[in-house]
Structure 1
Amino acid sequence: MLNTLSIPSDGPAAPLLIVHGLYGSGRNWGVIGKRLSDRGPVAAVDLRNHGDSFWSDSHSYEDMADDLAKVIEAHDAPMDVVGHSMGGKAAMTLAITRPDLVHRLIVADIAPVTYTHSQLQFIEAMRAVDLTRIEKRSDASAQLAAHVEDPTLQAFFTQSLDLRNKRWKLNLDTLAAQMENVLGFPDLSDTFEAPTLFLSGGQSDYVTPDHRPKIRELFPKARFVKIPNAGHWLHAEKPREFEASVRAFLDQAQ
């Protein structure tokens, strides 16, 4: 079972499951999850090979969707599901293969397509950190700066540091070996017929007009919203706007 951060609530809305992206964890979503818990219960998972969840040699979207299905079945199924980037692909796979478990779906800045860019440079940057010299997260950020210019990304990666044991809470070897799977998307023939929101950053190029035919093929009730002045990490760059968009969709979509 995936490690899960659960935020209880007396709110009447359906429970919400939050699924992080590559190199992330459920704790990245703690603030947004807490704010959205006024509606109803919220759960934020650590996907396999991330955070405090188990490590595996496999990192396919079918396997990740199965992991998420077990979480939902252990809670009060079905759930609304929010997934960002890699987590969005896992959530889409879940929604199409197990629509009985997903009430409504929000996909944050990703499309059901194969991408050509690689994320391996970040794995190499993390591997280059001398963990024996790390006493606090800022020590790791200083080393990451030699390979990762963006301070926001430096801080993001260091959230996956286990300072006490001087290790990454990321299975870097499997994630590197499975990068082709991460960049791809399963060949799925079924559809998800419930309301779906594709929420993108206005400055991101992860979801383009060219992707819309494929999105509508798999998600006939897809809606599209962009958050101005936000990039791929839209929930971190514009958390209040992200929260407002999620809240508006869930409060209105039936």
Structure 2
Amino acid sequence: MTTQEQPILNHARVTGAGATPQRWLLMLHGIYGSGRNWGTIARRLVEARPEWGILLVDLRNHGQSHGFAGPHTLAASAADVDRLVAHLDFHAAAVMGHSFGGKVSLVYARHHGQELKQVWVMDSTLAVREPEGSAWRIIESMRALPPEFPSRAEAVAAIQAAGYEQGLAQWLAINLEPAEGRYRWRIDWDVMEEMLRDYFRTDLWETLVHPPGEAEIHIVKATESNSLDEEAERRVEMAGTANGRVFLHRLEGGHWINTDNPEAVIALLRDRLP
């Protein structure tokens, strides 16, 4: 499959009631997720800021975005978003990504610096390191489970038995689809591993040191997450001191900040979007 033959990412527009947005925000989810994970935040944000519209995107191999050829990398994921906005003849004034999507946002910004006012990076690992953390451990845990289940409820129970709390188990089970009377994984765990390995090995610090165009870069640190360690926080603050366009925000909550503390996420975006 050539680059031109890659599918268009699944997406959904969110606007305030009766509103005609003047600016658009791209929202990119994290690994194992989909655009709908951020749907509640998107809907509440456009009601508070009706001059903004939001495009919720399913990144490659997630949600309803399937049929993409490898390699499955940050660069390929950002190129998918490039193709989507070209297909829609769409110019976003801001892009926000969570975790894996946060790094995709930074790669995307490199190509769209002239039109972007802001880049939001929600609890992404900026340091280059060996894969680790909760998202990485999930891969082996899910591989150890059966490939299919009689019901979604039994899948949730199996994920909980593997050591995960109910909310996370239910969220992961969204990635199951009915097939021949049973439920099978819609996502490929080998592809997830490939995407996460690239996430951990890609160094994007230069984008913070020299933000593209005139864009501001806002880095959000979830206080109960280890995605950003103290050294990374220090480097973010140093970049901001040097160029005046990089900002660090600390929000109470864990890595899945959209479900842990949605009120704080909405308030921050509401108050800081141009």
TM bin, normalised by shorter chain, reads 0.7 to 0.9
Cα 1:66–1:133 change in 2 (3 A) is closer
Greater alpha carbon shift after TM alignment, 58-67 vs 189-198: 189-198
1:155 and 2:170 aligned? yes
Paired with 2:204 and 2:120, the residues of 1 have a C-alpha distance of 20
**What's the counterpart of residue 12 of structure 2?**
5
**What's the counterpart of residue 3 of structure 2?**
none
Residue deviations 1:142-194 (CA, integer Å, cap 9, x gap): 01122232223212211222135622222222222443212222467563241
Paired with 2:125 and 2:146, the residues of 1 have a C-alpha distance of 35
Greater alpha carbon shift after TM alignment, 7-16 vs 17-26: 7-16
Q: Secondary structure at the match of 2:96?
A: strand
* Residues 237-248 of structure 1: pairs in structure 2 closer than 5 A: 237-248=260-271
Paired with 1:162 and 1:81, the residues of 2 have a C-alpha distance of 30
Normalised to the residue count of structure 2, the TM-score between the two structures is 0.81
Which residue, 192, 198, 211 being the options, matches 1:175? 192
Residue-pair matches, total: 249
Is there any run of 5+ residues in structure 2 with no aligned partner, and where? 1-7
Paired with 1:208 and 1:147, the residues of 2 have a C-alpha distance of 27
Paired with 1:132 and 1:174, the residues of 2 have a C-alpha distance of 18
Q: Decide whether the 8 Å contact of 1:161 with 1:169 is kept in 2.
A: yes
Which residue, 77, 80, 83 being the options, matches 1:67? 80
Q: Secondary structure at the match of 1:224?
A: strand
Q: Secondary structure at the match of 2:117?
A: strand
- Extract structure 1 runs of 4+ deviating beyond 4 A: 186-190, 216-219
Greater alpha carbon shift after TM alignment, 85-94 vs 210-219: 210-219
Cα 1:42–1:187 change in 2 (3 A) is closer
**Identity between Structure 1 and Structure 2 (%):** 25
**What's the counterpart of residue 226 of structure 1?**
250
How far apart are 1:225 and its partner, in Å? 1.1
Greater alpha carbon shift after TM alignment, 36-45 vs 176-185: 176-185
Q: Decide whether the 8 Å contact of 1:105 with 1:197 is kept in 2.
A: yes
Is there any run of 5+ residues in structure 1 with no aligned partner, and where? none
Cα 1:17–1:163 change in 2 (3 A) is same
Which residue, 146, 153, 158 being the options, matches 1:130? 146
Q: Which amino acid is 1:224 matched to?
A: L
Q: Decide whether the 8 Å contact of 1:56 with 1:174 is kept in 2.
A: no
Residue deviations 1:4-30 (CA, integer Å, cap 9, x gap): 122234154411111001111111111
Q: Secondary structure at the match of 1:162?
A: strand
Q: Decide whether the 8 Å contact of 1:109 with 1:232 is kept in 2.
A: yes
CA RMSD across the alignment = 2.4
Q: Decide whether the 8 Å contact of 1:72 with 1:79 is kept in 2.
A: no
1:206 and 2:227 aligned? yes
**What's the counterpart of residue 145 of structure 1?**
160
Greater alpha carbon shift after TM alignment, 29-38 vs 204-213: 204-213
